Structure 1
Amino acid sequence: MNAAPEEITSLVGREVYSNNGVFVGEVEDVRLDLDTQSVTGLALAELNRELFAGRVDGNTGVIVPYRWVRAVGDVVLINDVIERLETGTDEPEAETEQQAT
């Protein structure tokens, strides 16, 4: 994604849902690759507690790889791979990120 700075910052605060309509979390920040000037991930907070039960605690967020993003509009839609975390599929998991307290 080679978006203008105003487009990147507009992602912050948007709710993130899977393709199946399951709430995942809220965009807190974006991960950038400065060499390629592209977004590589979305840092999520306010996570769906049921979806991440036993995987993250209240002070931890996750970084979702940007390749999982399917669409950006009023909300961000990502692949339903996030819902398969419990199934143990081979798809790489979202990274956890310790939030500053």
Structure 2
Amino acid sequence: MNAAPEEITALVGREVYSSNGVFVGEIEDIQLDLDARSVTGLALAELNHELFAGEVDGSTGVVVPYRWVRAVGDVVLINDVIERYDTGDSEEEPSELAEST
């Protein structure tokens, strides 16, 4: 059965979880590259404060690179690299996780 394509704005409000099932945050906005017509990042708010303790305050969100996304459905799954962000074990540079206001 072919499902109708969804609007990109349908992602706003969806919860984001790591591939290990840890809640990361909720999508507040989408970062786009208009020239390439592609999604480049997901701006998250309502963050899991345990993951970002000491990194961002309550009024700040983060932008997760879209290449970390593994699956999109009722929720969005991202690589578990976000869980390693705080410990420094990440293969990705921590600077890739951009703060948004």
| TM-score (normalizing by structure 2) | 0.88
The aligned residue for residue 75 of structure 1 is 75
Using the TM superposition, give the Cα deviation of residue 92 of structure 1 relative to its aligned residue in structure 2, in angstroms. Answer: 2.2
Mapping for residues 1-101 of structure 1, pairs under 5 Å: 6-89=6-89, 90-93=91-94, 94-98=97-101
CA distance in 2 between counterparts of 1:65 and 1:91 reads 11
Unpaired stretches in structure 1, ≥5 consecutive residues = none
CA distance in 2 between counterparts of 1:63 and 1:85 reads 13
Q: Secondary structure at the match of 1:82?
A: helix
Count of aligned pairs: 94
Q: Which runs of 4+ in 1 moved over 3 A?
A: none
Instruction: Give the superposed CA RMSD.
Output: 1.1
> Matched residues, percent identical?
76
Using the TM superposition, give the Cα deviation of residue 87 of structure 1 relative to its aligned residue in structure 2, in angstroms. Answer: 2.0
CA distance in 2 between counterparts of 1:7 and 1:16 reads 18
Task: Report the AA paired with residue 92 of structure 1.
Answer: E
Q: Secondary structure at the match of 1:10?
A: helix
| TM-score (normalizing by structure 1) | 0.88
Unpaired stretches in structure 2, ≥5 consecutive residues = none
